[in-house]
């Protein structure tokens, strides 16, 4: 029997939307609740940006406008890299179905202004911020960063969009986030793992939390294939 969290009373009718990665929706019991803001965390090279782009592509296929805010990497680099997984991606960008924005903000207020205006301008229904680790450039205390994440999440929800907040974690550490506060704020957590086993690296994905929603909690094998990330929830792995 699959290991899953308990579905809270009165939440069963919430609409779910597909994440876009093969196998992940099965681990999520049908997808993520529409309108939620989810933390996607993992070490460098674990597939966070690829997974996030698959989320936007899935939405674009359904007519949902998507926004990708590039905080640390140039959007042109993201387009080039993801085009290797999806040959039609550049067409989605050129048609305006997905928009990538290079965020050049000197302070948090400027950042929020960019997010708000861009979301409003295209009526974005799916939003990715990659990554909120950049918030350390705006603030010096965890309390201020926590407040900033809360405000960012509120803005996405206020615009009636579903969002992913990407967070870097240190390789080899069993952390869920960079600052140690994100996991308490967001509606859900999808944790990507790169585990040293048998002299190599094994990739895994675990849904740690999905507020008011049933989901699988075991560590699932994961691959980065030529078409993107594929998750195998039917073959759970032992936790490291």
Question: Given this model, what pLDDT does residue 212 score?
Answer: 85
Please state the separation of Cα 39 from the chain's center in Å. Answer: 6
Buried b (16+ CB within 10 A) or exposed e, 160-172: ebbbbbbbbbeee
In a domain, 74, yes or no: yes
Question: Given this model, what pLDDT does residue 172 score?
Answer: 65
In a domain, 94, yes or no: yes
Alpha helices for 102-237 (secondary structure H): 108-122, 142-158, 182-185
Instruction: Identify whether the C-beta of residue 190 lies closer than 8 Å to the C-beta of residue 39.
Output: yes
Question: Given this model, what pLDDT does residue 7 score?
Answer: 34
Give residue 181's domain range: 35-192
Could you check whether the bond before residue 96 is cis, i.e. omega within 30 degrees of 0?
no
In a domain, 234, yes or no: no
Name the token pair of 78: 């993201």
In a domain, 239, yes or no: no
Buried b (16+ CB within 10 A) or exposed e, 75-98: beebbeebeebbeebeebbeeebb
Nearest to 97 by CA among 54, 127, 63, 69: 63
In a domain, 166, yes or no: yes
Return the residue matching tokens 């939405």.
Answer: 59
Contacts of 163 (CB under 8 A, 6+ apart): 36, 37, 38, 126, 127, 128, 129, 153, 156, 157
In a domain, 14, yes or no: no
Q: What is the CATH number of the domain that holds 159?
A: 3.40.50.300
Number of domains in the chain: 1
Nearest to 38 by CA among 140, 116, 130: 130
pLDDT tens series, the chain, 240 aa: 334 333 333 345 579 999 999 999 999 999 999 999 999 999 998 999 999 999 999 999 999 999 999 999 999 999 999 999 999 999 999 999 999 999 999 999 999 999 999 999 999 999 999 999 999 999 999 999 999 999 999 999 999 999 999 999 987 677 888 889 999 999 999 999 988 887 788 999 999 999 988 899 999 999 999 999 999 999 998 877
In a domain, 90, yes or no: yes
Question: Given this model, what pLDDT does residue 13 score?
Answer: 58
In a domain, 93, yes or no: yes
């Amino acid at each position: 029997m699959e290991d899953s969290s308990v579905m809270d009373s009165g939440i069963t009718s919430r609409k779910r939307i597909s994440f876009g990665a093969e196998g992940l929706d099965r681990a999520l019991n049908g997808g993520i609740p529409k309108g939620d803001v989810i933390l996607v965390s993992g070490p460098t090279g674990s597939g966070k940006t690829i997974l996030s782009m698959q989320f936007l592509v899935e939405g674009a296929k359904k007519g949902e406008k998507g926004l990708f805010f590039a905080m640390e990497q140039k959007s042109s680099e993201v387009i080039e890299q993801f085009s290797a997984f999806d040959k039609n991606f550049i067409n989605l960008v050129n048609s305006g179905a997905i928009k990538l924005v290079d965020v050049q903000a000197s302070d948090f207020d400027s950042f929020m202004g960019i997010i708000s205006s861009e979301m409003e301008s295209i009526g974005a229904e799916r939003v990715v911020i990659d990554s909120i680790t950049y918030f350390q450039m705006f603030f010096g205390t965890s309390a201020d960063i926590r407040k900033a994440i809360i405000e960012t999440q509120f803005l996405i929800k206020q615009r009636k969009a579903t969002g992913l907040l990407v967070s870097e974690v240190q390789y080899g550490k069993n952390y869920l986030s960079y600052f140690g506060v994100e996991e308490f704020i967001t509606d859900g957590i999808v944790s990507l793992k790169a585990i040293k086993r048998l002299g190599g690296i094994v990739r895994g994905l675990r849904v740690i939390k999905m507020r008011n929603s049933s989901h699988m909690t075991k560590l699932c094998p994961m691959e980065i294939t030529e078409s993107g990330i594929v998750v195998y929830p039917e073959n759970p792995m032992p936790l490291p």
